[in-house]
């Protein structure tokens, strides 16, 4: 039996990058997946994630969702329950980085960028947790005895300082802090709440940096394992944290970063 057999999962930001890798991996592990993103086709040559899941024999649907919108996040949870009867796993993955702005010192940071980053990266996690937790508390427990699993995708920027990305670092710091708080509050209800802090991962946002020789040399220097990580590395850990392998694990803020944060 696969590790997520008969579990129902929502993955936000599922159309590309880490979110797509998690959604596909969850499907291979037996989960029914509700894919959520602002756009169905982020890249013209990509098969939509939910269709890619169906092509490998999995079950998946897509719902267009603005993760910072209260009504849309509430609707997303309701859609999962309407389609599959329950909600076992939530992956809060959708996020933005610098929104097209160049990294800058805090005194030069754009206030609108700050507001947008906090809304998309932090408020969305609050909303996702709020409505997923309400559903997990009212439904019957999973056969394992646990009521649910939440995996928040934070960042190494919540653990170590990285130059000139103040809004992003603050937003991800909020995600890591909320993860620990929620794990404490919902542990008695047998709901696992953990966070993954990816390092620099080869996603569409990172492709330019990864192919630039100077940047590639810098990434090799900073990561003891060398170079950029792959989205699949994050997906593998997201499976563990949503499975019975993590039955004694909650409140963890886990770097998956090729050793970046050990320096």
Residue 221's Cβ-count burial label (10 Å; 0-12, 13-18, 19+) is: exposed
pLDDT higher than threshold 70 for residue 1: no
Task: Give 58-78 pLDDT, tens digit per residue.
Answer: 999 999 999 999 999 999 999
Provide the whole-model pTM: 0.95
Of the two residues 136 and 98, the one the predictor is more confident about is: 136
Query: Average pLDDT of the chain?
Result: 93
Query: What pLDDT is recorded for position 214?
Result: 67
**What does the alpha-carbon distance between residue 11 and residue 76 come to, in Å, rounded to a whole number?**
10
- For 256, the enclosing helix (H) or strand (E) is strand 253-256
DSSP string, 92-127: E----SSTTPPPB-GGG--HHHHHHHHIIIIIHHHH
**Beta-strand runs (E) in 102-242:** 148-153, 191-198, 201-202, 229-230
Please give the DSSP secondary-structure letter assigned to residue 66.
-
Is the Cβ–Cβ distance between 204 and 17 less than 8 Å? yes
Query: What is the percent of the chain with per-residue pLDDT over 70, rounded to a whole number?
Result: 94
Q: Region 192-212: what's the mean pLDDT?
A: 80
Q: Which residues are catalytic?
A: 168
Q: What pLDDT digit, counting tens, does each position of 148-195 carry? A: 999 999 999 999 998 889 999 999 999 999 999 999 999 999 999 999
Confidence of residue 241 (pLDDT cuts 50, 70, 90): very high
Q: What is the pLDDT of residue 205?
A: 64
What domains does the chain contain, in order, with CATH numbers?
Answer: 8-262 (3.40.50.720)
**170 or 109, greater pLDDT:** 170
């Amino acid at each position: 039996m696969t590790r997520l057999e008969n579990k129902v999962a929502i993955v936000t930001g599922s159309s590309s990058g880490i979110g797509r890798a998690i959604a596909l991996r969850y499907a291979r592990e037996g989960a029914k997946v509700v894919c959520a993103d602002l756009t169905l086709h982020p890249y013209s040559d990509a098969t939509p994630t939910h269709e890619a899941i169906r092509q490998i024999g999995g079950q998946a649907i897509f719902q267009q969702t603005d993760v910072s919108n209260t009504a849309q996040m509430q609707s997303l949870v309701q859609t999962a329950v309407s389609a599959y009867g329950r909600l076992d796993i939530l992956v809060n993955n959708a996020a933005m980085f610098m929104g097209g702005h160049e990294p800058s010192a805090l005194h030069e940071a754009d206030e609108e960028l700050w507001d947008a980053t906090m809304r998309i990266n932090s408020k969305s996690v609050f909303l996702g947790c709020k409505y997923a937790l309400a559903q997990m508390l009212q439904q019957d427990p999973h056969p394992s005895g646990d009521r649910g699993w939440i995996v928040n995708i934070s960042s190494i920027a919540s653990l170590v300082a990285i130059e000139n990305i103040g809004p992003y670092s603050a937003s991800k710091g909020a995600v890591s802090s909320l993860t620990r708080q929620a794990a404490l509050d919902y542990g008695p209800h047998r709901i696992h709440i953990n966070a993954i802090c990816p390092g620099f991962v080869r996603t569409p946002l990172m492709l330019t940096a990864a192919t630039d020789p100077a940047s590639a040399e810098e990434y090799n220097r900073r990561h003891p394992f060398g170079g950029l990580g792959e989205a699949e590395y994050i997906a593998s850990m997201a499976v563990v944290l949503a499975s019975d392998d993590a039955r004694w694990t909650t409140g963890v803020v886990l770097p998956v970063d090729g050793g970046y944060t050990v320096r």
